[in-house]
Amino acid sequence: MKLAFQLAYRNLLGAGLRTWLNVGVLSFAFVIIIFYNGWIDGWNQQARRDSIAWQYGFGQLQVATFDPFDPFSITDAHAALPAEDDHLTPVLLRLGTLYPQGRTMSIVVKGIDVNQTVVDLPTSALTASKSDLPAIIGEQMALASHLKTGDEVLLRWRDIHGTFDAATVTIAGVFPNQVPGIDKGQIWVPLKKLQDMTLMPDEATYFIADANFQHTEIAGWKYRSQEDLLYEINNIIKMKKMGGSVMYLLLLAIALLAIFDTQVLSVFRRQKEIGTYISLGMTRQQVVGLFTVEGAMTSIFAAVLGALYGTPLLGWIAHTGIAVPMNSQDLGIPIADRMYPVFGLGLILATLMLVVISATIVSFLPSRKIAKMDPVQALKGKIQ
Amino acid sequence: MIRFLIKGILRDKNRSLLPVVIVSIGVLLTVFLSGYIRGVMGDMIDLTARFQTGHLKVMSKAYADNQDQMPNDLALVDLSRLLQELKQDNPKYDWKPRIHFGGLVDVPGPGGETRSQGPGTGLAFDLLSPGSSEIDRLNIQNSLVRGALPATPGEALLSEDFAQKLGVQPGETITFFGSTMNGAMAFRNFTVSGTVKFGSAAMDRGTLIADLGDAQDMLDMDNSAGEIVGYHNAGAYEDEDARSLAAHFNKNHADGDEFEPVMQTLGQQNNMGAMLQYTDHMAAIFVGIFVFAMSLVLWNTGLLGGLRRYQEFGIRLALGESKGAIYRSLFTEAVIIGLLGSIAGTTFGVLFCFLLQKYGIDISSVMQDSSMMYPNRLRARMSLDLFVIGFIPGLFSMVLGNLLAGIGIYKRETAQLFKELEV
Amino acid sequence: MKKYIVWIFFLAGSYSTSGQSTPDARLIISRIDENMSSRNRVILSDMIIHGRRNERILTAKTYAAGDNRSMTEYLAPEREEGTKMLKLEDRLWIYSPASDRTIQISGHLLKQSVMGSDLSYEDMMEDRKMTAIYDAQVIRNEQISGRDCWVLELNAKVPDVAYEKRVVWVDKIRYVPLQEELYAKSGQMLKKTTLSEVKQIQGRWFPTRINYKDMLKQGEGTDYIIREVAFDTDIPDYIFTKAVLTK
């Protein structure tokens, strides 16, 4: 077997250009497989990443009675935190009614610290606005309410005692996003303003944690970790993996097609060589082994070559992402849309294993033909 | 000449069958993967279409403006005439009326008084007519947690979490309390036939699914519905087709009335236009890279195929054929092989894509817990470019590879090529 | 639906005096009470709902006793016939003959706006006396539909009121409110009520047509027309029990 490896190694190096062509193509296929899967994973995880960036942060500390899916719970879900924490960004939720063009929309008014940086919400637009009560809304909300930047609209809400109040809100910006949780049926206003409006100074409905937040039990509050908040999205991602795995197999098929193709040609072209091996005393099985090892070794060379240029390339792409130009005219606040592929170590190792193993199998299949060859004819190079 | 070459290709299996098979497989993979990747990337759009937007949706103009509020007082009236018109004018689409409504779900205790209650959102569609396309479209059968689908009028489904919150078992009676199309109180008792899981917390918390007829009766919406959704029979959304259809429909119905029916495409609703654009853009990049990768593989095939024929070229040179003639015949052969392979590969690739778009592969059985709002079927998405895309690797790169290999004919001395002929 | 409940309760609510309002305003309010309130009343009414598409008329018979008990039975149209609504203190039940069910509107539902409307049941169920929660004063005189009126401004003196300010136009001679405006804290007018067709019934001046309008919404609002009204009749006590709902 050792001989087979040595011979295979020499044969491959000896073949020069042809080997490198194969190795090159195979390594490219190899990198593409990883890139593709990373991309699909990135695509699947987009919702997860967006939700973290726009909505969940690194977890949320919520008033214990708050139930994000029960608007009724919002009325009573407000409290002040016993001690301030620099790693928490307060958000206060209140029910309100918006009257765009005489229509009625029941909405949630969300007050957020205008200087926050924990989520991507463009709260700086709230600071920049000169209006008395500025608000930013998501593009879905803009679409549903027919509101655009600069529009004024009447908002009615109730203060802590249930007394009605109403004021004109100026839309300071419309932000494009893919996260319905921060967009549909809601408007974002400065926290201080909302606290004043509702007579709820220093109160919040929940806090968004940053990366350095350390949770300790606080009576009347519940902490929901990032993973906890992402439960649903994680489930969807799991389901979508299925679709990705089919892709993976299809991509693997290209790589194997390349190996198979090369191998068939090798067996055909190198008949004299095969004849020589057999006449020198190698058994047919050993020759089959030699050719199989050659094929498998091509895939290992490909993996090494692929790793050489693929690692920095993919690493760079994963880091900087790929800009996806979006047609976002008159949406107000431009936000660069980037797609970040996700390359897991598991994915890379599994791909490596799978490519080498399947390359070996695919190399073996055409080589079996050797076992049926007449060595004399083969030695003569006669096509059989 | 070409006939001679074809004969040659056909008779020499190594020159014909293998390359053609490899090119076909490569092209098939390219075409299929391109269609498939569009399907996979569009699965969330597909879900939105199934549950909310349809490929096309008809609403009254006033309803469309206030859609989020489920304003059934602004619903479409004269439904049957409108449906008939839609079916007649656009048989390519499956048209289905639906009603979204809100209200209270109330569970009676022993004395008929409220035992538990909660706010709920209702969704009504054709549940009861045999073989209703909606049941499959909304993946209801697979999403059942307990009980069965409604089989008779007066039966309804509750989301599982909602049923648990209310403490209702399948077989028990609930009362829905809301307001009718005219703003009056709407009451109706339903027998809970079963519970379903959506997989979206918002919907799992409080959804009631009822048959359209029951909802129409309950909401005083006889011959009306909030919306009519249309789904292309081929399974996938066709933006251009949908746009022109909607434009045509809207032109015909533009009478300046605030209740005139308006048709909106998937792309015109819920900001799906941007999403579609985004997906298309991403898919185009994916397909581009894939075509490039496949081109490289088939280019390699062509190159190797050319290289292995140096012996033959030697003989042919020795027999007096000119280098140019050999080169030309190599080119023509490559074109023929590339064409045959590309045509075969494209045919099968497109066919597979079509089947996978129309029927999809049901993966819900593989999933531990299936629910409505998850992609439960793998689907491809057809597009016109699938018919041509395969020819790039199949024909061009194959021919290019051969031509590159053929350059060797000019480089090498006749004697040298001849020498390789040693028998 | 929510709109007519409001009106029934509006009529049930009383302007009786207490607290320290300005003498003038207090006097006016007590005169209104004298004129309008009664031990109990039975009202046959039509409710005209101006929808965006059509107009509907609902006929109902309401029995009300004191400030906090009332029972309404709908008589027409056919779809509504037999539907009953019972309000006892701060609780509300609705009965529908079609489903033979009594549903209690309670807890959060009472507090919240119902079915996407901008009115909450809680709004409608205000039982406290006007003078207990508002400081009243006469701010000017004005004519409405040819009648001389005092214009009363009511400002909340307790925090938990729905409307910070109310402005009421009261007929100087008949002591009947002819118009009322409800304001938000910011001064934005939210609702406007117009009372007209004042008739003398059993020696009292009583408005028989009331238009209720949400100023933030489009539309003509809702008209409430009193066809018949009887004061201080014998209403059996069982009318204000849940048992009456299913009868």
Give the C-alpha separation, A115 to A253, whole Å. 52
Contact A153, A168 (CB under 8 A): yes
Tens digits of per-residue pLDDT, B388-397? Answer: 888 888 888 8
**Residue A321: alpha-carbon gap to chain centroid:** 10
Task: Name, in order, each residue with C-beta under 8 angstroms of C224's C-beta and a sequence gap of 6 or more.
Answer: C4, C7, C45, C46, C47, C48, C209, C210, C211, C212
Tens digits of per-residue pLDDT, C92-143? Answer: 888 888 888 888 877 666 655 433 344 456 655 666 777 778 888 899 899 9
Q: Which residues of A266-303 are buried (b: 16+ CB within 10 A; e: fewer)?
A: bbebbbebbbebbeeebebebbbbbbbbbbbbbbbbbb
Contact B380, B36 (CB under 8 A): yes
Cis peptide before C97 (omega within 30 of 0): no
List CB contacts (< 8 A) between C213 and chain A: none
Give me B101's structure tokens: 């409504």
Q: pLDDT-derived band of residue B412, with 50, 70 and 90 as boundaries? A: low
Torsion, CA B254, CA B259, CA B265, CA B271, rounded to 10: 120
C167 or C55: which leads in pLDDT: C167
Q: Looking at A345-359, B13-27, C108-122, which range is the least confident one?
A: C108-122
Q: Looking at A120-129, A374-383, B136-145, which range is the least confident one?
A: A374-383
Average pLDDT of span B74-89: 93
Contact B225, B97 (CB under 8 A): yes
Task: Name, in order, each residue with C-beta under 8 angstroms of C186's C-beta and a sequence gap of 6 or more.
Answer: A165, A166, A167
Residue carrying structure tokens 């070459």: B5
Q: What is the pLDDT of residue A382?
A: 58
Residue A226, domain member (yes or no): no
ipTM value for the complex: 0.80
Q: Based on the domain organization, do A40 and A161 belong to the same domain? A: no
Decide if A105 and B205 are in contact by the 8 Å CB cutoff: no
Query: DSSP strand E in B279-393: where?
Result: 361-362, 377-378
Give me B135's structure tokens: 């049941």
Q: How many CB atoms sit inside 10 A of residue C150's CB?
A: 18
Q: Based on the domain organization, do A162 and A252 belong to the same domain? A: no
Phi first, then psi, for residue B154 (nearest 5°) are 95, -5
Q: Based on the domain organization, do A182 and A303 belong to the same domain? A: no
Nearest CA-CA distance, residue B189 and chain C, Å: 6
Residue type present at position C68: N
Nearest CA-CA distance, residue A328 and chain B, Å: 8
Contact B54, B226 (CB under 8 A): no
DSSP conformational letter for C61: E
Q: What is the pLDDT of residue B358?
A: 82
Q: Based on the domain organization, do A66 and A44 belong to the same domain? A: no
Give the C-alpha separation, A179 to C143, whole Å. 55
For the whole prediction, is pTM greater than 0.90?
Answer: no
Q: What is the pLDDT of residue C3?
A: 33
Q: Is A325 on the interface with C (CB under 8 A)?
A: no
Give me the residue from C111, C161, C217 closest to A163, CB to CB. C161
Bridge partners, B261 (sequence order): B60
Q: Is C122 on the interface with A (CB under 8 A)?
A: yes
Give the C-alpha separation, A97 to A105, whole Å. 6
Give me the residue from C51, C101, C109 closest to B182, CB to CB. C51
Average pLDDT of span B112-119: 84
Bridge partners, A141 (sequence order): none
Decide if A161 and C160 are in contact by the 8 Å CB cutoff: yes
Bridge partners, C151 (sequence order): C140, C169
How many B/C residue pairs have CB atoms within 8 Å? 73
Average pLDDT of span A339-362: 82
Q: Is B423 on the interface with C (CB under 8 A)?
A: no
Q: What is the pLDDT of residue B297?
A: 78
Decide if A163 and C163 are in contact by the 8 Å CB cutoff: yes
Tens digits of per-residue pLDDT, C213-237? Answer: 888 887 777 888 999 999 888 889 8
Q: Looking at B186-190, B229-233, B372-376, C196-200, which range is the least confident one?
A: B372-376
Residue in A with minimal Cα distance to C188: A166
Q: Based on the domain organization, do A244 and A309 belong to the same domain? A: yes
List CB contacts (< 8 A) between B104 and chain C: 103, 109
Average pLDDT of span B1-8: 72
In this structure, chain A runs to a length of 384
Q: What is the pLDDT of residue C6?
A: 40
Nearest of A52, A53, A129, A118 to residue A85 by alpha carbon: A118
The continuous run of DSSP H or E covering B236 comes out as none
The percent helix, strand, coil of chain B (3-state, each to 5) is 55, 20, 25
Residue A218, domain member (yes or no): no
Q: Based on the domain organization, do A182 and A124 belong to the same domain? A: yes
Contact A301, A23 (CB under 8 A): yes
Contact B42, B366 (CB under 8 A): no
Contact B61, B262 (CB under 8 A): yes
Q: pLDDT-derived band of residue A139, with 50, 70 and 90 as boundaries? A: confident
Q: Looking at A90-104, B373-387, C85-99, which range is the least confident one?
A: B373-387
Residue type present at position B344: A
Nearest of B116, B215, B234 to residue B165 by alpha carbon: B116
- Substitution target in A236, A271, A365 with the highest count of B β-carbons within 10 Å is A236
Q: What is the pLDDT of residue C167?
A: 94
The residue range of the domain holding A300 is: 2-53+238-380
B65 or C149: which leads in pLDDT: C149
Tens digits of per-residue pLDDT, B218-246? Answer: 999 999 999 999 999 988 888 889 999 99
Q: pLDDT-derived band of residue B373, with 50, 70 and 90 as boundaries? A: low
The DSSP bridge pattern shows strands B155-159 and B207-211 to be antiparallel
Q: Is C164 on the interface with A (CB under 8 A)?
A: yes
Q: Is B73 on the interface with A (CB under 8 A)?
A: no
Bridge partners, B23 (sequence order): none
Q: Is the dihedral of CA C1, C4, C5, C6 positive or negative?
A: positive
- What are the Cα distances from residue C192, in Å, to C198, C214, C215? 18, 7, 7
Nearest CA-CA distance, residue C133 and chain A, Å: 12
Nearest CA-CA distance, residue B68 and chain A, Å: 7
Q: What is the pLDDT of residue C11?
A: 42
Give me C83's structure tokens: 């539907």
Question: For residue C7, is pLDDT > 50?
Answer: no
Average pLDDT of span A150-157: 94
Q: How many CB atoms sit inside 10 A of residue A15's CB?
A: 16
- What are the Cα distances from residue A245, in Å, to A241, A248, B40, B278? 6, 5, 11, 22
Q: Based on the domain organization, do A67 and A202 belong to the same domain? A: yes
A14 or B102: which leads in pLDDT: B102
Nearest CA-CA distance, residue B129 and chain A, Å: 31
Q: pLDDT-derived band of residue A207, with 50, 70 and 90 as boundaries? A: very high
DSSP SS3 for B270: coil
Residue type present at position B395: L
Q: Based on the domain organization, do A103 and A179 belong to the same domain? A: yes
Decide if C104 and B112 are in contact by the 8 Å CB cutoff: no
Q: Going from the N-terminus, what domains does chain C have, and what CATH number goes with each? A: 2-244 (2.50.20.10)
Give the C-alpha separation, B377 to B122, whole Å. 25
Give the C-alpha separation, B187 to C79, whole Å. 11
Q: How many CB atoms sit inside 10 A of residue A329's CB?
A: 6
Torsion, CA A29, CA A30, CA A31, CA A35, rounded to 10: 90
Average pLDDT of span A183-201: 94
Residue carrying structure tokens 């933030």: C216
Q: How many CB atoms sit inside 10 A of residue C55's CB?
A: 11
Mean pLDDT of chain B: 85
Residue A155, domain member (yes or no): yes
Q: pLDDT-derived band of residue B150, with 50, 70 and 90 as boundaries? A: very high
3-state secondary structure chain A: CHHHHHHHHHHHHHHCHHHHHHHHHHHHHHHHHHHHHHHHHHHHHHHHHHHHHHHHCCEEEEECCCCCCCHHHHCCCCEECCCCCCCEEEEEEEEEEEEHHHCCEEEEEEEECCCCCCCCCCCHHHHHCCCCCEEEEEHHHHHHHCCCCCCEEEEEEECCCCCEEEEEEEEEEEECCCCHHHCCCEEEEEHHHHHHHHCCCCEECEEEECCCCCCCCCCCEEEEEHHHHCHHHHHHHHHHHHHHHHHHHHHHHHHHHHHHHHHHHHHHHCHHHHHHHHHCCCCHHHHHHHHHHHHHHHHHHHHHHHHHHHHHHHHHHHHHCEECCCCCCCCCCCCCCEECCCCCHHHHHHHHHHHHHHHHHHHHHHHHHHHCCCHHHHHHCCCC
Percent of chain B with pLDDT over 70: 91
The DSSP bridge pattern shows strands B114-125 and B207-211 to be parallel
Q: Is B37 on the interface with A (CB under 8 A)?
A: yes
In this structure, chain B runs to a length of 423
Average pLDDT of span B278-290: 79
Contact B250, B23 (CB under 8 A): no
Q: How many CB atoms sit inside 10 A of residue A333's CB?
A: 18
Q: Is C88 on the interface with A (CB under 8 A)?
A: no
Greatest distance between any 2 Cα atoms in chain B: 107
Q: Is A144 on the interface with C (CB under 8 A)?
A: no
Q: Based on the domain organization, do A72 and A43 belong to the same domain? A: no
Q: pLDDT-derived band of residue C19, with 50, 70 and 90 as boundaries? A: very low
Residue carrying structure tokens 């009306």: B224
The continuous run of DSSP H or E covering B404 comes out as helix B398-411
Decide if A164 and C164 are in contact by the 8 Å CB cutoff: yes
Q: Based on the domain organization, do A186 and A285 belong to the same domain? A: no
Question: For residue A91, is pLDDT > 90?
Answer: yes
**Residue B292: alpha-carbon gap to chain centroid:** 25
Q: Is A43 on the interface with B (CB under 8 A)?
A: yes
Decide if B68 and A262 are in contact by the 8 Å CB cutoff: no
A partners (3+ CB pairs within 8 A) are B, C
Domain tally, chain A: 2
Q: Based on the domain organization, do A74 and A122 belong to the same domain? A: yes
Percent of chain B with pLDDT over 90: 34
The DSSP bridge pattern shows strands B185-196 and B173-179 to be antiparallel
Tens digits of per-residue pLDDT, A308-340? Answer: 998 888 888 888 877 665 544 333 343 446 777
Q: Looking at B36-50, B120-134, C54-68, C97-111, which range is the least confident one?
A: C97-111
Residue A229, domain member (yes or no): no
Residue A42, domain member (yes or no): yes
Give the C-alpha separation, A190 to A326, whole Å. 28
Q: In chain C, where does DSSP find H-type helix? A: 2-12, 23-36, 107-111, 121-124, 130-133
Percent of chain A with pLDDT over 90: 29
Q: Based on the domain organization, do A363 and A326 belong to the same domain? A: yes
